[in-house]
Amino acid sequence: MAAEYEYHTLDNGLRIIFSHTPSRVVYSGVYINVGSRDEMGADEGMAHFIEHSLFKGTTHRKAYHILNRIDGVGGELNAFTTKEETCVYATSLAEHLPRCLELFADILFHSTFPEAEIEKEREVVIEEINSYSDLPAELIFDQFEELAFEGHPLAHNILGTKRNVRRFTPERLRGHMEHNYTPSRMVISVVGDVEFSRLVRMCERYFGAFGNHASAVDRGAKPVFRNFERTVHKRTHQAHILIGCEAPDIYNADKTAFTLINNILGGPAMNSRLNVSVRERYGFCYSVESQYVPFSDTGLFYIYAGVDLDAQERAIGLIRRELERMASVRLTQQQLRQAQRQFIGQMAINNDNGSNEMQSIGKACLNFEHVDTMEEMNADIMNLTPDEVLRVAQSRFAPDGISVLIYN
């Protein structure tokens, strides 16, 4: 079987992963193995603040020139921060890929963080923190993680605190970047219609001169998941419910089975068990969904629902019942096959979007030396058995392992 992806590693340790698609549009990005969990104390929020400030000036460009470099030719430039990664990415015509890669290198290795621009960006991030605090459907996820991983860096809010944001200086931002933004902790991910040998030459031209330095990822002790049940009275118009537990980490052999379990329970399809039980059958909410978020040494599983205050207890009971059913009733072979086919179809549709594929393979390459092709992932899913799915569900959905956070 021919490889779906092509790989190359520069002499300085920077990795390249490429997927060829016959399109005029190319999707490119740089994944960096640093996120909010790599911060402590007064540095909390720095990864996110740097992500915002990368576009504010380099030794070669002012802020306007950075923003105009890609947008000026009809492309889009953006970035995001997670608990364990930072990503800078762009969408452009294939002919403009060189300017995307050159700009990535410029902002990742030559950012100067001009004081005047940083002052303005402080207010932007502080306003983001303020607005986020007004959204209970978003805030509840952060508080769940704070309670579940109390005392561990993984519990920290990605945005940080307003106090910290006000104290970040250009010198501290540059120091954080110099320590963490090193080629061996980076992956360039590209999806589009370009010769791979040409892509490698471009990456060598724009990134090859940057030396690597010792900056191994050391995230310390594995976080301990702490079970809890908490109700926070916020005088909201509806009850926001988050029910969850610890889940397999990204390297765990149970990850594939748990990913399928998550999709059966609360995936995007209208026939998910939670949607049918809580929304379609009883009309308790507009939407109910589950999420599985694997990290490098642990994982989280959530079920979220926003329901009428009077329906809060009944909705919680229905959700608990679906978890108990998943952990006690073995899927029939027909039910498993239906779930497998559905999930494989959803993955194919999701990966048909070039931006989604670029991010998916970039993150995978950051964590593994090999990125599974769609055929390999499909085979892993189809090889699951009813007994294996039941075992994994039982290992995670024990009643005393389920935590609950309610805003009402």
Q: What are the start-end ranges of the E strands in 214-331?
A: 229-232, 238-246, 285-294, 299-308
pTM: 0.93
Q: How far is CA 165 from CA 41, 44, 316, in A?
A: 12, 9, 37
Nearest Cα residue to 224 out of 283, 163, 299, 149:
149
For 161-187, what is each residue's pLDDT tens digit?
A: 999 999 999 999 999 999 999 999 999
Q: What is the pLDDT of residue 308?
A: 92
Q: Which domains does the chain have, with CATH numbers?
A: 5-207 (3.30.830.10), 229-407 (3.30.830.10)
Residue 30 structure tokens: 């740089």
Q: What is the pLDDT of residue 339?
A: 98
Q: Quote the CA–CA distance of 197 and 75 in Å, as a whole number.
A: 23
Name the amino acid, one letter, at 185. R
Would you say residue 1 has pLDDT above 60?
A: no
Residue 100 structure tokens: 């995307």
Q: Calculate ∠ Cα 249-17-257, nearest 5°.
A: 30
Q: Quote the CA–CA distance of 183 and 199 in Å, as a whole number.
A: 17
Burial of 64 (0-12, 13-18, 19+ CB in 10 A): exposed
Q: Quote the CA–CA distance of 252 and 258 in Å, as a whole number.
A: 10
For 219-246, what is each residue's pLDDT tens digit?
A: 888 999 999 999 999 888 899 999 999 9
Burial of 185 (0-12, 13-18, 19+ CB in 10 A): buried
Q: What is the pLDDT of residue 214?
A: 63
Name the amino acid, one letter, at 92. S
Catalytic (active site) residue 121: no
Rg (CA), the chain: 22
Would you say residue 57 has pLDDT above 60?
A: yes
297 DSSP assignment: S
Residue 185 structure tokens: 């902790």
Q: Quote the CA–CA distance of 157 and 129 in Å, as a whole number.
A: 10
Q: Quote the CA–CA distance of 89 and 351 in Å, as a whole number.
A: 17
Give the orientation angle of helix 136-148 with respect to helix 115-133, to 10 degrees: 90
Own/partner long-range contacts of 321-326 (Cβ < 8 Å, ≥24 apart): 321/277, 322/265, 322/273, 322/274, 322/277, 323/243, 323/265, 323/397, 323/402, 324/397, 324/399, 325/273, 326/261, 326/264, 326/265, 326/273, 326/393, 326/397
Would you say residue 215 has pLDDT above 70?
A: no
Cβ atoms within 10 Å, residue 333: 10
Rounded to the nearest 10 degrees, how much is the dihedral formed by the CA atoms of 356, 362, 367, 370? 100
Length of the chain: 408
For 13-46, what is each residue's pLDDT tens digit?
A: 999 999 999 999 999 999 999 999 999 899 999 9
End-to-end CA distance of the chain: 54
User: Reduced to 3 states, what is the DSSP secondary structure of residue 293?
Assistant: strand
Average pLDDT estimate for 394-401: 95
Q: Calculate ∠ Cα 125-156-230, nearest 5°.
A: 115
Burial of 369 (0-12, 13-18, 19+ CB in 10 A): exposed
Q: What is the pLDDT of residue 2?
A: 38
- Catalytic entry in 39, 44, 51, 246: 51
Least trusted range by pLDDT, from 2-6, 303-307, 395-399: 2-6
Sheet of 229-232: strand order equals 229-232, 403-407, 238-246, 299-308, 285-294
For 197-214, what is each residue's pLDDT tens digit?
A: 999 999 999 999 998 876
